[in-house]
Structure 1
Amino acid sequence: MVQVALQNPAQEKKKEKMFVTTMKRLLKNKLSVAGLLIILLIIGMAFCAPWIVQHQPNTQDLRNSELPLFSEGHWLGTDNYGRDVWSRIVYGSRVSLIVGFTAVVFGLIGGITLGMLAGFYKKLDSPIMRFVDLLFSFPGILLAMLIIAVLGTSLVNVAIAISIWSVPSCARIVRGSVLSIKQKEYIMAMKSLGASDLRIMAKHILPNAMAPIIVFATMQMGSAILSTAALSYLGLGAQPPTPEWGAMISQGQDYMWTSPHLTIVPGIVIMLVVFAFNVVGDGLRDALDPNMDIH
């Protein structure tokens, strides 16, 4: 007991040092810093939406429809119903972040569970991975469309579809990490001491497999937001009048020649957010690499 007690402060100090080192590496990457700033800006928009907009996102004013950019009181203009584009962009960030975050979390839960079982138990490896291969046989967007066709069109079902789509990739990543980690000497020592499989997986394998999981989750967040927009553009996600970036592009494409900002503005926002999550994911992958040196 004394030995364990003495080890805990050292372990905590080591974890703290690893965190500081990772952050230093991440902050040295200029693209990652730019991505972090964009992500923080979008999250801030979502939280502060009621205080940074002058108009409700669904309030119609047909007398002021299709106003151009930088119009008085509507700096991003208005759509064909006279709704303020800035307000719909801001409130749309809530939809995209909530759906994306929910999809990634549930995808991680499913992927980590399957990957841990497949990697730790040899007898479960083949059936689980064949199921994963079956999911991989469908192109991602088509799998999501199939799931939504069965469940119905709604943002909840979009989150479910994207989470199921995320499971196979996460499962493969986790399985590969588990297969490597479970061969380590300390894992063999835990087994010889009689530790349960659940304890070994939860306390010793999963924490050491978190680095690739964190990178995957960050990049998958961008993919989930893009997929949400794509499905809403196709009419399978957000339904009118819900402010959602993909739906805004779909509704604005009929006015591309007269009011191109209705399509271009939400398109640029989607591009920036997906770019931000991708570059942060790349930065985390490099920062979590133990072979990277700090100079």
Structure 2
Amino acid sequence: MTTAETLKLKPKKREKYYITTLKRLFKNKLAVIGLIIVILQILIAIFAPYITIHDPIKQNLANSEMPVFSEGHWLGTDNYGRDVWSRIVYGARISLVVGSVAVTLGLVGGIILGMLAGYYRKMDAVIMRFVDLLFSFPGILLAMLIIAILGTSLVNVAIAISIWSIPTCARIVRGSVLSIKEKEYIMAMRSMGASDLRIMVRHILPNASAPIIVFATMRMATAILSTAALSYLGLGAQPPTPEWGAMISQGQDFMWSSPHLTIVPGIAIMLTVFAFNVLGDGLRDALDPNMDLQQ
């Protein structure tokens, strides 16, 4: 069943369709694990002040490099005596916020360009050549170039990653628009005198939502990983900001004496990226209209 057909269903049948989609998602054990991890990360980020007892940036050199499971510091402390657990928790907040902002901005730009390119044939060539130009740069190098121009900060990291996300999103949306705009109900709306803007926003965009949702979920993993990578290189979060990539960069000099300074934030990055990736895979399968035919 296509998204267009779903929107035409009566409320009860539409609700049944959504319940069926959720059941498909929950049948995927990896996707459920990913969803649980994502929810936990969000809760940890929201309630960070309530689940930590130490200031993530307050230094206490008398307690520097305490090992894991030390009294009062169950994940130990770094070389400045800062509590690692507090820095990991507040780092989750930074990663999720920067990733969400980057993906949202990338979606807005990609959806606008993709809708215009797919709906207006005359604009297609110009927009897609611009998209191809962005694709010609390796993603991380494009982000580094943008940050080099704008300056090093988490705000600029979010902007750089969002620009990196635009071309992929634009191509996904364009492909959906090209197939949807030829449907009978779209032609019927045109014949009834509906404006192009109304058709695109009220009828085409909702029908292209499934691939956009999947892209946004999986792009969160890329955004979080890219934020960590840029901060590791010194182009993102600056000391003493508790960001996971920056924590790995600061802890690598103490790898032999205090390996937890790099291992703990590394595990946090790995789990978060894994969670968003498997959740995106699960959503792709659950929203696939061909799943009914395969089962």
TM-score class, shorter-chain normalisation, is: over 0.9
Please list every run of 5 or more consecutive structure 2 residues that lacks an aligned counterpart in the other structure: 1-6
Distance 1:100 1:15 in 2: 32
Distance 1:283 1:98 in 2: 23
Distance 1:10 1:291 in 2: 18
Distance 1:153 1:71 in 2: 35
Distance 2:224 2:250 in 1: 18
Post-superposition Cα deviations, 1:141-187, rounded to whole Å, max 9, x if no partner, equal: 00000000000000000000000000000000000000000111111
Task: Write the mapping of 1:51-62 to structure 2, written as runs, cut at 5 A.
Answer: 51-62=50-61
The equivalent of 2:3 in structure 1 is none
Distance 1:75 1:278 in 2: 29
The one-letter amino acid of 1:158's match is V
Distance 1:269 1:23 in 2: 27
Please list every run of 5 or more consecutive structure 1 residues that lacks an aligned counterpart in the other structure: 1-7
Matched, 1:86 2:47: no
Number of aligned residue pairs: 288
The equivalent of 2:285 in structure 1 is 286
The one-letter amino acid of 2:90's match is Y
Deviation at 1:14, TM superposition (A): 4.0
The equivalent of 1:42 in structure 2 is 41
Give the root-mean-square deviation of aligned CA atoms. Answer: 1.3
The equivalent of 1:5 in structure 2 is none
Segment of structure 1 superposing worse, 120-129 or 10-19: 10-19
Q: What is the TM-score normalised by the length of structure 1?
A: 0.95
Distance 1:9 1:124, change over 3 A: closer
The equivalent of 1:262 in structure 2 is 261
Post-superposition Cα deviations, 1:193-237, rounded to whole Å, max 9, x if no partner, equal: 111100100111000000000000000011000000000000000
The equivalent of 2:140 in structure 1 is 141
The equivalent of 1:26 in structure 2 is 25
Distance 1:9 1:110, change over 3 A: closer
The 4+ residue runs of structure 1 with deviation greater than 3 A are 8-15
Task: Write the mapping of 1:96-135 to structure 2, written as runs, cut at 5 A.
Answer: 96-135=95-134
Distance 2:21 2:59 in 1: 48
The equivalent of 2:173 in structure 1 is 174
Q: What is the TM-score normalised by the length of structure 2?
A: 0.95
Distance 1:15 1:42 in 2: 31
Post-superposition Cα deviations, 1:121-150, rounded to whole Å, max 9, x if no partner, equal: 000000000000000000000000000000
Matched, 1:204 2:197: no
Distance 2:10 2:113 in 1: 29
Task: Write the mapping of 1:136-285 to structure 2, written as runs, cut at 5 A.
Answer: 136-285=135-284
Distance 1:174 1:10, change over 3 A: closer
Distance 1:59 1:205 in 2: 51
The equivalent of 1:75 in structure 2 is 74
Distance 1:10 1:170 in 2: 28
Distance 2:8 2:283 in 1: 26
Deviation at 1:12, TM superposition (A): 3.4
